[in-house]
Amino acid sequence: QVQLAESGGGLVHPGGSLRLSCAASGNIFSLNVMGWYRQAPGKQRELVASISTGRTINYADSVRGRFTISRDNAKNMVYLQMNSLKPEDTAVYYCNIRNGDYRAYTEYWGKGTLVTVSS
């Protein structure tokens, strides 16, 4: 089992910045992919960014150039630095881990943290 705990959400004005953090604990395998997803009201959950233990990174087109994902493997932490925030970035942001090799992994989710971008 793996537990994920997000922090750092809140209310920010358009153009502002926030940094989300996610702490993973439990039986974490040496190969995994950690990521951030978001779900806006009335919309499906979507990938925001992901990063592997080897630091292969993927971004959604909508956030590329504004958001930066990073991780600290020693601390089992993943971060999402969000700059130039827009109202359309408003959503609940979920931390995710695909624990294990890409051919056989178990997926876990955090409870989410709300990000609201509004003037």
86 torsion bin: left (phi>0), alpha (psi -120 to 50), beta (else)? beta
In this structure, are residues 115 and 87 in contact, taking their beta carbons and an 8 Å threshold? no
Give me the percent of the chain exceeding a pLDDT of 70. Answer: 100
pLDDT tens sequence across 7-53:
999 999 999 999 999 999 999 998 999 999 999 999 999 999 999 99
Q: Quick check: 69 pLDDT over 90?
A: yes
Q: How far apart are the C-alpha atoms of 9 and 18, rounded to whole Å? A: 7
Torsions phi, psi for 91 (to 5 deg): 180, 170
Q: Can you point out the beta strands (E) in 1-119? A: 2-7, 10-12, 18-26, 32-39, 46-52, 57-59, 67-72, 77-82, 91-101, 104-109, 113-117
